[in-house]
Amino acid sequence: MRRVVPAVLMLTTLVALPLRAEQHAHTLAMPETLKRVEPVPLRDRLYCVYIAPGPELIREHAERGGFPCNRVSQVGAVIDPTTAEARP
């Protein structure tokens, strides 16, 4: 999910922690089929990686939490240090 959040990197710890706690509370209230993996802040955007059966559940989570959901995209593959280990 991509969220446009002005100056997201400028959030202080005092502001960011309650926002994260509120979002986490909404995640706990959602069905077990929705799992937030990690948030990735980039300038004025916040990308959140979720495991979900479809985009509808992610949009519903954002709506209930009162935060923007500008786009939901499916991740096709993950490239990380373990990718090289999987080579035959």
| Residue 72, pLDDT score | 95
pTM of the shown model? 0.65
How many residues does this entry show for the chain? 88
State which amino acid sits at residue 80: D
For the chain, the domains span 2-85
Q: Which fold, 2-85?
A: Alpha-Beta Plaits (3.30.70)
| Residue 13, pLDDT score | 46
Which of the two residues, 46 and 73, has the higher pLDDT score? 73
Q: How confident is the model at residue 11 (pLDDT cuts 50, 70, 90)?
A: low
